[in-house]
Amino acid sequence: MRLNLFLIGVLWIGAVLPPCHAQTPVPPPARSESKSAATDTSLDLPPLPRSEVSLIGGTVVRTDPIRDRIVVRAFGGKDLTLDFDVRTQILQGMNVLSVRDIRPGTRIYADTISKDGRIFAKTIRIGTGASVGEARGQVIDYDAAERVLRVRDLISSQPFSIHIGGATEVQADGRAVPATDLVAGSLVHVTFRSGSEGSNSAQKIEILARPGSTFTFAGRIVVVDLRDGHLTLAESASENTFEVALDSLSQDAKLRLRQGADVIVQARFDGRRYQAQSIEPMSNPQP
């Protein structure tokens, strides 16, 4: 009887206890962090291509943060669309800003490159708001008695007046000229200081072009637009770009123009645009 009771107790204990080889399963290590890290790496943008940089200055017309674009009214009154992304630096003086600080009406200067057939801004510089400013415009008239120059800003198309003092430098082609050379229709680059009551005093006025003046441009054709009748030329010796009208050229001469070609352009400024008189291939094209 005691033996039977012992056997019954052993069987009951064996039924209650789990088998000795059964173990609590250990969950696999979490992989979410490594997966997210891999995802972040895959989203990194490649470096920007190394290509010729052009400086574009203008006033912001509108921003499109959804498609990462800014529309700028550039020198000459033409609207340009600039693309940007997280690789674009936005600066005001030494301060780094964000795209939220770019608002319509803001004057900016952008270092741009051509990327996938569009204009991409590598760096955008916002005006510091200091009392010294600069503008490019076209002379409306000059009042020699009052020594007041009226200029139409080529970016905003708005006229403004500038007082010319005794210390104002007036230059053309790198040499000093009298203020009377500021004839109507001339393109000028003005450096000025704003007064407390909104008056502008010119520090330096550079005459860029006068109606009837002829110019020689050497560079590479960036854009050919036969429908609008113009080409955009990037100068070889600088980062400047020029828009040249093709109205004076024959149809055969227009059809020979090719994007990427190195050319020498003889142009005449008619008071509104540079009009190409002749376009010839460059004998020693730039590499």
More confident residue, 114 or 176: 176
The Cβ-side half-sphere exposure at 171, using a 13 Å CA radius, reads 11
pLDDT at 156: 57
**Confidence band of 34 (pLDDT split at 50, 70, 90):** very low
**Confidence band of 137 (pLDDT split at 50, 70, 90):** confident
- Flag whether the pTM goes above 0.75: no
Q: Distance (Å, rounded) from C-alpha 127 to C-alpha 133?
A: 9
Query: 157-166, 179-188, 258-267 — which is least confidently predicted?
Result: 157-166
The domains located in the chain, with CATH, are: 54-126 (2.40.50.320), 132-209 (2.40.50.320), 214-281 (2.40.50.140)
**Confidence band of 28 (pLDDT split at 50, 70, 90):** very low
> Has residue 197 got a pLDDT over 60?
no
More confident residue, 53 or 243: 243
Q: Distance (Å, rounded) from C-alpha 207 to C-alpha 161?
A: 16
> Has residue 144 got a pLDDT over 70?
yes
Query: 31-35, 92-96, 147-151, 165-169 — which is least confidently predicted?
Result: 31-35
> Has residue 207 got a pLDDT over 70?
yes
**Confidence band of 133 (pLDDT split at 50, 70, 90):** low
Q: Distance (Å, rounded) from C-alpha 283 to C-alpha 287?
A: 12
Q: Distance (Å, rounded) from C-alpha 89 to C-alpha 83?
A: 12
Q: Distance (Å, rounded) from C-alpha 22 to C-alpha 122?
A: 63
Q: Provide φ and ψ at 17, rounded to 5°.
A: -75, 145
In a 3-state reduction of DSSP, which class is residue 106? coil
More confident residue, 73 or 125: 125
pLDDT at 246: 94
**Confidence band of 188 (pLDDT split at 50, 70, 90):** very high
**Confidence band of 75 (pLDDT split at 50, 70, 90):** low
pLDDT at 254: 92
**Confidence band of 168 (pLDDT split at 50, 70, 90):** very high
In the chain, the largest separation of any two C-alpha atoms, in whole Å, equals: 138
Predicted confidence (pLDDT) per residue in 209-226, tens digit: 899 999 898 999 999 999
More confident residue, 129 or 217: 217
Q: Distance (Å, rounded) from C-alpha 272 to C-alpha 185?
A: 8
Predicted confidence (pLDDT) per residue in 250-282, tens digit: 999 999 999 999 999 999 998 888 999 999 998
pLDDT at 277: 94
Query: 50-54, 55-59, 78-82, 119-123 — which is least confidently predicted?
Result: 50-54
Q: Distance (Å, rounded) from C-alpha 92 to C-alpha 115?
A: 25
Taken in order 66, 222, 155, 191, is the CA torsion positive or negative? positive
Beta bridge partners of residue 58, listed in sequence order = 74, 108
pLDDT at 264: 93
How much is the average pLDDT of 227-235? 88
> Has residue 157 got a pLDDT over 60?
yes
CA dihedral 171, 173, 178, 180 (to 10 degrees): -110
